[in-house]
Amino acid sequence: MMKLNRGSIFLIAFLLSTLTSLQSSSSSSSEESNIISRFQQYLQIKTNHPTPNYTQSSQFLISLSKSLSLESQTIELVPGKPIIILKWAGTSPELPSIMLYSHTDVVPAEHDKWVHHPFKAHVDDEGRIYARGSQDMKCVSMQYLEAVRILKSWDFQPKRTVYLVFAPDEEIGGHDGAEKFSLSKDFQDLNVGIVLDEGLASPDEHYRAFYAERSPWWLVIKAVGAPGHGSKLYDNSAMENLLKSIESIRRFRASQFDLIKAGLKAEGDVVSINMAFLKAGTPSPTGFVMNLQPSEAEAGFDIRVPPTADAESLERRIAEEWAPSCRNMSFRLGQFKQKLSVLDASGKPVITKTDSSNPWWALLENAVQESGGKLGKPEIFPASTDARYFRRVGLPAIGFSPMANTPILLHDHNEYLHKDEYLKGIKVYESIIKAYASFDERVKDGTSKDEL
Ligand SMILES: *[C@@H]1O[C@H](CO)[C@@H](O)[C@H](O)[C@H]1NC(C)=O
Ligand SMILES: *[C@@H]1O[C@H](CO)[C@@H](O)[C@H](O)[C@H]1NC(C)=O
Ligand SMILES: [Zn+2]
């Protein structure tokens, strides 16, 4: 046997440890590149409106579910609009299940305004993955699946059944997707206890989580008045009547915006109102007739109302200040059904509780923290998501997309997600799914069944 002195022992130990670390880093980096490559493949599928290829996205998701030995089921509540349900059976199937929900469609992209093609999923030198859907919300769909893959590799056994549900058409209102699904027997059969759906990226280090959302009211106001010569000053023309309303709406808009600017309220907590169109004038072959004051004028507004706002007083404001009949004005509220949909059967706003009455909230907070992430204050989602349909049938639903340190680029040109944020998000879901799937309120805090 060779005689070894201290120095050579150190040298051998050093070489061995270098070898081992090289090996493990090369296997983890190849695993990492597989994870990114699966994300890219999903991003490359053109599920953009107006002609999303749901056939291809379904095939892809089902092939992934096979590689994870998950049971899969495809239902079509509307032909050509598949909903994919993947099941990871729990050991206590009588407990309400966990639904990890995502939509498969994306909004269109103007290719020529992007630095990298929106369906190539190019990773740039910095590690940014450019693609339509990289934030909204193909990231979340794939992160759910990757987290399940990792938990399975540890032989983790969920107590509750975990469903991964991928649905179409969110970007066009979700009527043929989440809305019909939430009311279906197929959904009831899943016995869901908690829904996770999408949130928004966060430019700072805190992840954002949403417990409710604003509902859209699409308001069109119309004024009529006596027509007249363009040179004449007179009261009560249609344009004058409309402008008075627009001035009043602008003051209201500023008052709400000031609350955000002053840091007193978050975006989702105020009523937003933005003018979407103005329609007036008498067309002529060269543009508009200029020496005529028209007898009709119309304007349209996108209003977003948080569930915490006083909807009745807003309706009164519309009827009395923005479109008063005494000023020869009338109004239409489109999407009005949506307004009702944020109220539950007893007329209370539909929100998911974020206090101790909802254990899923605390579990999420803890799980995020345990994975090394930070969670901001719960917020009202400023726009709409499919989560509203599940809240409407009485379920808690949390909007959450783990993207910190990321500019908000959903629906924007050059939507991207950094690969490190994407990978971190998988860790966050590992932690959340583990906590959710293990949660059993029948077991008292701090005492496991084994100890009883
Ligand atoms: C959609 O995807 C399927 C399956 O990958 C493919 O055969 C088909 O050509 C695609 N349809 C369109 C319109 O691109
Ligand atoms: C409303 O319309 C009527 C009929 O055109 C007109 O006589 C009246 O002055 C208008 N009033 C206002 C406030 O515009
Ligand atoms: Zn979305």
**pLDDT at residue 347 tops 90:** no
Residue located via tokens 């103005």: 278
Cα separation, 344 vs 143, in Å, equals: 32
Report the residue count for the chain.
Answer: 452
Q: Give residue-wise pLDDT tens across range 36-52.
A: 999 999 999 999 999 99
Q: Give residue-wise pLDDT tens across range 279-316.
A: 999 999 999 999 999 999 999 999 999 988 988 899 99
**Residue 41 near ligand 1, beta carbon < 6 Å:** no
pLDDT at 28: 79
Domains in the chain with CATH codes:
34-212+345-451 (3.40.630.10), 215-305+308-336 (3.30.70.360)
**CB of 367 within 8 A of CB of 197?**
no
Across the range 153-168, mean pLDDT stands at 98
Cα separation, 361 vs 379, in Å, equals: 13
Pairing of strands 292-293, 206-207: unpaired
**pLDDT at residue 98 tops 70:** yes
How would DSSP label each residue in 84-128? EEEEE--S-TTSPEEEEEEE--B----GGG-SS-TTT-EE-TT-E
pLDDT at 13: 54
The arrangement of strands across the sheet holding 397-400 comes to 71-75, 83-88, 162-167, 97-103, 192-197, 397-400, 209-213, 379-381
Share of the chain above pLDDT 90, in %: 84
Cα separation, 347 vs 264, in Å, equals: 27
**What is the three-class DSSP state of 315?**
helix
Across the range 404-412, mean pLDDT stands at 95
Count of Cβ atoms closer than 10 Å to residue 134 Cβ:
29
The pLDDT confidence band at residue 365, using thresholds 50, 70 and 90, is very high
In this prediction the pTM is: 0.85
**Which numbered atom of ligand 1 lies nearest the CA of 51?**
13
**Residue 91 near ligand 1, beta carbon < 6 Å:** no
Q: Report the mean per-residue pLDDT for the chain.
A: 91
Ligand 2 mutation pick, 236, 237, 242, max ligand atoms within 8 A of CB: 236
**What is the three-class DSSP state of 238?**
helix
Ligand 1 mutation pick, 41, 47, 56, max ligand atoms within 8 A of CB: 56
Please tell me which residue, 439 or 392, carries the higher pLDDT value. 439
